[in-house]
Amino acid sequence: MRSHGLKVVLFCGGYGMRMRGSATDDVPKPMQLVGPYPLLWHVMRYFAHFGHKEFILCLGYGAQMIKDYFLNHAPTAHNDFALRGGKVELLDDEMSDWTINFVDTGLTSSIGERLRRVRPLLGDDEIFLANYADVLTDADLPSMIDSFVDDGQAVASVMSVPPQDTFHVLEVDEKHRVTKITPVATMPMRVNGGMIILRQEVFDHLGPGEDLIGDAYARLATQGRALAQPYDGFWKAADTFKERAELDRMWTTGQRPWAIWDRGAESPAVTGDR
């Protein structure tokens, strides 16, 4: 197996309506802070740790804020630097070997349509990665890619995780009396946790304006060509202000299971090319 980085498509263009109602509700969700860094940076740093450093950002709402961050703020925010003669000289640059493509994919586009609009940037790569810009995990990405490749028939794969909802399911009798209360998180069910692995064949199953999971992935599932790889380790989506605040608290107190880049040397990339 020949190892090199895969391209990573990140969906950054939604309105993030469930993140509204805070003092930062004009900030797009990928730019909401966890510690001193935006959610998007944490997601990108995870992929870069495994050698996947070419990113395609599918932009929409808040596109200019995301562009400004990487063009103007990120270099000095993430690195030591010297100011000499009024000019900034970086002393180190953790993002120096990253390639970031910024693509306006529309304000109201579905995730599937955003993916369709960046297809030319994928080139001839058979396999590529995709993810949401608000999902943090410590999952073993190389193992998931290996499993996808070894399957041989799969066109799409997602990571399946237990639901993180705090709701309770109520079972009632014919007189509306509660007979059982079950926390959703303990039910024998799995939800889409992102960490999407795709073959370019997915575009044969994805029509204009369609959804990646609800349409293309669902079609592939009926053909037995969709994987859901289980993971029970750390996974958290920052879909609401409360969830983002919890991640921020974890960072501040030093509980950062998703920050695998702080655990030692970087792991090799695995692509599935044979």
- Checking DSSP bridges between strand 81-84 and strand 87-90, what pairing results, if any? antiparallel
Q: For 193-243, write each residue's pLDDT tens digit.
A: 999 999 999 999 999 999 999 999 999 999 999 999 999 999 999 888 888
Decide if 137 contacts 195 (C-beta within 8 A): yes
pTM of the entire predicted model:
0.85
| Chain segment 56-97, per-residue pLDDT in tens | 999 999 999 999 988 887 555 555 555 555 555 554 557 778
For the chain, the domains span 7-162+191-262
CB 136 within 8 A of CB 30: no
For 7-162+191-262, CATH gives: 3.90.550.10
266: pLDDT strictly greater than 70:
no
262: confidence class by pLDDT, cuts 50, 70, 90: confident
Per-residue model confidence (pLDDT) at position 239: 83
Residue 270 reports pLDDT greater than 70 = no
Q: How is residue 129 written in tokens?
A: 């990665």
Q: How many residues does the chain have?
A: 274
The pLDDT, as a whole number, for residue 177 is 84
Inter-residue contact 187 to 171 (CB < 8 Å): no
Strand partners, 27: none
Distance in angstroms (rounded) separating the CA atoms of residues 20 and 62: 14
Q: How far is CA 259 from CA 38, 41, 80, 168, 265, in A?
A: 13, 11, 20, 31, 13
Between 246 and 264, the more confident residue is 246
Residue 240 CB coordination number (10 Å): 18
